[in-house]
Amino acid sequence: MLQNFDMSLVDWSRGQFALTALYHWLFVPLTLGLSFIVAIMETIYVKTGDEAWKKITKFWMTIFGINFAIGVATGIILEFEFGTNWSKYSWFVGDIFGAPLAIEGILAFFMESTFIAVMFFGWEKVSKKFHLAASWLTAIGSNLSALWILIANAWMQNPVGMHFNPDTARNEMLDFGAVALSPTAINKFLHTVTEAYVLAALVVLGISAWYLLKGRDVLFAKRSIVVGSVFGLIGILMTIYTGDGSAQQVFKTQPVKFAAMENLYEGQAQAPLIAFGITAKEVEGEPGHHPFAFKIPLPGMLSFLATHDFNAYVPGLKDLIYGNPEHGILSFQEKADRGAVAQEALRQLKEARDNDPEKYKELRAKFDDPSWLKEYFAYFGYGYYKGEDPALLIPNISMTFYSFHLMVILGFWFLLVFVLALIWGVKDKLAGKRWFLWLMVWTAPLAYLATELGWITAEVGRQPWIIQDLMPNMAAVSNISATTVQVTFWLFTLTFTILAIAELKIMFKQIKLGPKDGGQ
């Protein structure tokens, strides 16, 4: 069936969307976290009346504003790409996927953009308490925007709360609560925003450490470090906790991704977690099998991560490709056969709709039968791969494995940085620890790397699915030429790079000006 698809179009469309998403996510996390840090600092100012806190608040508000503007620009392009590059996807699930995005635009973004005007221009025009309320509402609005977008993304990873209408060949929402409150959505939102809080806190620490190294704006830097380290410490602890919940959801709903994250080929009970490892080349004839050239295993910890049971069985890629009847795991081929049955039933239903009412009624009843839907339609997307190489359903193992493990390693490094920054910051000992101040400066860029690695793990690890098990990305692309996508890919690359450079220049200029001038 793959001969009907232009795979270069699929690859370029994926590349363009990945490019836009990665650039977008360079700006958004700082906005999400810094909005709350600014609100906290302004709260301290309102309660104490200390003008130094007002100056601190204004400076970080300026940094927030620089990122907010460019984050909005890239986010708008990202949403448009669903219509331009992935129109078949938009048709297939528009009734579901469009709802949270519409709520985000109408409610959250409207709220955010309304109060941000008061936040920036209302210092001398409204009361202190009203201005403070505007700052908190801006922070809440920006995070609500992230909520609805992440609900939409979570539904792609774990489609729930919907029903397939065979007459229109579209998925329709049945239970909005199931979509918005699914465990996947809750964990994805909490994990994503808390990692954004970590990034913002590390940026605050890095910039403040630079001021201490330069011996300027010392009071500003010390106060900012204390607030940032407390906020960041809470954020990293929440990130670790929600990461555990996210891993359990991935194990339940995306077992191939889970196996890829740990490069687990042979399923086993008491499965070890790889603290660190180096993968070798794939074994010929065994798709997905990348033996370790070196590894440091933690016995039983992967089973515990997946189920909170050290003895639990964790299927590997071999089980998921070739099946494991003992553990009730269907093979790739069995799923492809069942998906093909669902696709053929849909094709026959379309033909019978106008020509054979009795057959139409019989086929239509299948799509209303929960047991048939569970047995066949649940694997609809696999039908595209009937008779194809099972390797096509395996994500890039090395990229998924290394992205996940480097992200985790960085997360624990951030935890150590926050603890030390808080202890030495409260004791006023940071000025004498120049080595640690430099570490804080260089840890800030690592926060951006970690958050991008998280998205690479989430999105590369679920390939080739745009909707898990229901729609592969090759069936979701628009009917446009690969050349068109290539041209726009390079145009976007140039545009986004210029925006990123401009944003960095503006932000570095503001940092050099400092809170005395830059915060006014």
State phi, psi for 297 to the nearest 5 degrees. Answer: -90, 150
Beta strands in 156-241 (DSSP E): 162-165, 170-173
With residue 298 as reference, give the H or E element that holds it: strand 292-298
The four Cα atoms 332, 334, 337, 340 give a dihedral, to 10 degrees, of -60
State phi, psi for 476 to the nearest 5 degrees. Answer: -105, -10
Contact yes or no for 324/430 (Cβ under 8 A): no
Residue 471, SS3 per DSSP: strand
Contact yes or no for 204/227 (Cβ under 8 A): yes
pLDDT of residue 443: 96
d(CA 482, CA 22) in angstroms, rounded, equals: 21
Q: How far is CA 77 from CA 13, 20, 23, 466, in A?
A: 14, 8, 11, 19
pLDDT of residue 35: 93
Give this prediction's pTM.
Answer: 0.90
Type of residue at 362:
E
d(CA 99, CA 97) in angstroms, rounded, equals: 6
> Which residues make beta-bridge pairs with 297?
274
d(CA 392, CA 384) in angstroms, rounded, equals: 11
**Residue 110, token pair as written in the block:** 């409207």
Q: How many residues does the chain have?
A: 520
Contact yes or no for 316/264 (Cβ under 8 A): yes
pLDDT tens track, the chain, 520 positions: 555 667 888 888 888 888 888 888 888 889 999 999 999 999 999 999 999 999 999 999 999 988 877 777 777 777 778 778 888 888 888 678 777 777 777 776 677 778 888 888 888 888 899 999 999 998 998 888 888 888 988 998 999 988 888 888 888 888 888 988 999 999 999 999 999 999 999 999 999 999 999 998 999 999 999 999 999 999 999 999 999 999 999 999 999 999 999 999 999 999 999 998 999 998 888 888 899 999 999 999 999 989 999 999 999 999 999 999 999 999 999 999 999 999 999 999 988 888 888 888 888 889 889 999 999 999 999 999 998 888 889 999 999 999 999 999 999 999 999 999 999 999 989 988 999 999 999 999 999 999 999 999 999 999 999 999 999 998 888 888 889 889 989 998 998 889 889 888 988 999 998 886 444 3
Nearest to 515 by CA among 66, 166, 61: 61
pLDDT of residue 375: 92
